[in-house]
Amino acid sequence: MKKEVPVSKNDTVEVVFEDLTHDGAGVAKVEGYPLFVPNALPGERGMVKVVKVNKGYGFGRLMELYEKSPDRVEPPCYIYRVCGGCQLQHLSYEGQLRAKEKQVREVLARIGKLEDVKVHPVLGMKEPWVYRNKSSVPVGQKDGKLIAGFFQKRSHDIIDMEKCIIQHEENDRTIQVVKDICQKYGVQPYDEVKHKGVLRHIVVRHGKQTGEVMVVLVTRTADLPHKNKIVEEITSKVDHIKSIIQNVNSKRTNAIMGDETKVLWGNEVIYDYIGSIRFAISARSFYQVNPDQTCVLYEKALEYADLSGNETVIDAYCGIGTISLFLAQKAKKVYGVEIVPEAIEDARKNAELNGMDNVEFEVGSAEEVIPNWYKQGITADVLVVDPPRKGCDEALLETILKMKPKKVVYVSCNPATLARDLRILEDGGYKTLEVQPVDMFPQTTHVECVAKLHLV
C-alpha cells in the first residue's frame, strides 16, 4: 500500500528542525515526510502551518518558536523579511560558514560519491556586509512616485529601498540620487504588464579600489526624455562619477540588459583592481561583485595550479580574463576561451592594460575551441574551468579526458554541478585532492568552491 502524506494543507504541527536546504529553508520531518520552512534553523522547535503539500515533500510557514538555535540572530536589515535578496541574515555568520561547508561536503558525497575528499572550512569575510560593487534595481511607481529596490520574495512587486546593507554605500546613495532626478523630470517607469513606460532598471557599478562610479540607465525606448538635464544633474550630484551609460532593452523579458548600449557622458568603462591586476569594466561586463573575496578565490586557484613558469594553461569560460590574467603572472602561456564576443574584447583590452603578452583569447564555446586547439597541437599542462551554474558541457569534459592535462583546477558557483562533474573526471582517471569553499556572497545561500585535481 502507498503511504499517505501525513499532513494536509492548513494543518498546524509542532516540529523540530533538522537541517537547512540549499535555499536556506529549515527542514523538519513529520513521520518521515519533509517540510521546508523559511526562517527556521536546525535544532529549533516550533509550530508550523502547512501551506502546500506535494507527494514527496511540503512547505510550511513558521508560526511560533518554542526553542531557538544559539546561532539565531536578529536580522539587521529593515526589509529582510519581505525582500528576496538575502536568505540567511537570521543565522550568525559563523553559523552561515558552517552550513555552507556542510552543504559542500554532503553534495560531494551524495552526488559525486566523494566521501573521502578533503573539504576545507569555508574562507569567510572579516566584514560580511557592504561588499557588493554592483547594484541592479528595477524601477516602478507607487502613489505617483518613482520607486526602486528589490523584488519581493516570489513576486515581481518592487520593495522601495533606501539602503541595502550588503551593497556598497556609494551605490545606495547613487541610486537614490538618480531615482530623485528621474522623478523630477517625469521619467515614466517601465510597466512590465502593459510593456509601456521608459525606465526599467538603474544599474550602478563601483570600483572598490579606484572609487570610480558608473551609472547605467536601462530604458525600454531609445528616447530618454530630458536626457541632457538628467545627465547634467547626475554629474553634479554623484561623487567620483566617471561614466553615464544608456542601455536600451525593448523586449518583453526578465533579462536586465538589452543589446544596444551608448555612452551619454564620460568614459565607456570604469577601472578596478583584483589584487595587482587592473580591469576595465564596461556596462555589460561580467565582473565579480565581491572583489575582496574574488581575490581570495583566484589566489586559491593560482595556488592549486602550482605554476613554475614553464606551463601552458587553458582557461575555459574565461569571461573578461580575470582568472586568465591571474594565471598569466606565473605561467609561460595562457589560452582563454569564452562564448561572449564582448567579453573576449574586454579580455584582450585587460591583457593589454596589464602589459601581458603571454595570453591569447578566442571567441567560441569551450567544447568546440579546445578540441580545435588540441588538433593544432596546443595542449595544456593545467586546465582551469569556471563554468556557469549548469556546470561543464559534456563535450568539454570529454575533451579534458582526451587531452589529459596533469592538473585541473575547477572553480564552481554550484556545488551540485561541481560534484557531478568531479565524478565524471574521477571516472576518467583524475583524483580530487581537495576542495576549498569560499564565501563570495555572505548573508545568502550561495557558495563558491575551488577543487584541485591531478591525473592519476
What mean pLDDT is predicted for residues 398-408?
Answer: 95
Q: What's residue 3's pLDDT?
A: 64
User: CA geometry: angle at 55 spanning 50 and 58, to 5°?
Assistant: 25
**Could you report the per-residue pLDDT of 118-130, keeping only the tens digit for each?**
999 999 999 999 9
Task: Tell whether the model's pLDDT for residue 438 goes beyond 50.
Answer: yes
Q: Mean pLDDT of all residues in the chain?
A: 95
The rounded distance, in Å, linking the Cα atoms of 408 and 431 is 10
Dump pLDDT digits (tens) for 254-298.
999 999 999 999 999 999 999 999 999 999 988 999 999 999 999
Active site residues: 413
Cell numbers describing residue 404: 589529459
Average pLDDT over residues 360-379: 93
Write out the residue limits of the CATH 2.40.50.1070 domain(s) in the chain. Answer: 134-274
pLDDT of residue 445: 96
Question: What's the grid cell of residue 427?
Answer: 571516472
Give dist(CA 139, CA 146) in Å, integer.
Answer: 7
Split at pLDDT 50, 70, 90, the class of 1 is very low
CATH of domain 12-67: 2.40.50.140
Tell me the per-residue pLDDT of 150-203, one tens digit each, with 9 for 90 and over. Answer: 888 778 889 899 899 999 999 999 999 999 999 999 999 999 999 999 999 999
In CATH terms, is domain 98-126+290-455 a member of 2.40.50.100? no
Sorted by sequence, the CB contacts under 8 Å of residue 374 that are 6+ apart come out as 399, 402, 403
Determine contact, residues 204/215, Cβ cutoff 8 Å. Answer: yes
Give domain 134-274's CATH architecture: Beta Barrel (2.40)
- pTM score: 0.93
**What's the angle, vertex CA 24, arms to CA 125 and CA 162, rounded to 5?**
65
Q: What integer pLDDT is reported at residue 84 of this predicted model?
A: 80
Query: For the segment 221-239, what is each residue's pLDDT rounded down to a tens digit?
Result: 999 999 999 999 999 999 9
What residues does CATH 3.40.50.150 cover in the chain? 98-126+290-455
- Chain segment 140-157, per-residue pLDDT in tens: 999 989 999 988 877 888
What is the percent of the chain with per-residue pLDDT over 90, rounded to a whole number? 92
Report percent pLDDT > 70 for the chain: 99
Q: On the CB side of 63, how many CA atoms lie within 13 Å of its CA?
A: 13
**pLDDT in the model for residue 360:** 97
Rounded-to-integer distance, Cα 228 and Cα 398, Å: 54
pLDDT of residue 286: 86
How does pLDDT run across 316-331, given as a tens digit for each residue? Answer: 999 999 999 999 999 9
Q: Is the pLDDT at 397 greater than 70, yes or no?
A: yes
Q: Where in the chain is the domain with CATH 2.40.50.140?
A: 12-67
